[in-house]
Structure 1
Amino acid sequence: MVALVLDAFIVPVIGHLSDQTRSRWGRRHPCTFAAAIPLGLSDLLQWNLPTGAAMARWRA
């Protein structure tokens, strides 16, 4: 429920910012390009598991 409430406030703000963006690439492309960096980082962290001593603690 917390995520839905936060989403209800954040999405209109992001939409307004993307509507007001004027660049040579258009309105939405700079936002899409900027989102690729955190998305790639989160994907990397999600699918690469820790190894060694750190992993041994998780297998308790």
Structure 2
Amino acid sequence: MERLSLNEVSSIIKELKETNQYEKYQDMILDDFENHQVVYTLDSDEIIALAYKNKLFLLKC
């Protein structure tokens, strides 16, 4: 998976916030850290945008 430009990230995050999906993705990233001690090296907004763009679903355990 390649990194997204800042414009792509901003556009996707804006779309997710407008459709009230952003919080769902954000909660799942927090769950990864709290329950599984997963630490990402990318900004959370970029992870969310990459997942959404590539039609990946973040799973909450």
Q: TM-score, normalised by structure 2?
A: 0.35
- Identify the structure with bigger relative contact order (alpha carbons < 8 Å, sequence gap 6+): 2
Structure that is richer in helix per residue: 1
- Please report the TM-score for the alignment, with normalisation by the length of structure 1: 0.35
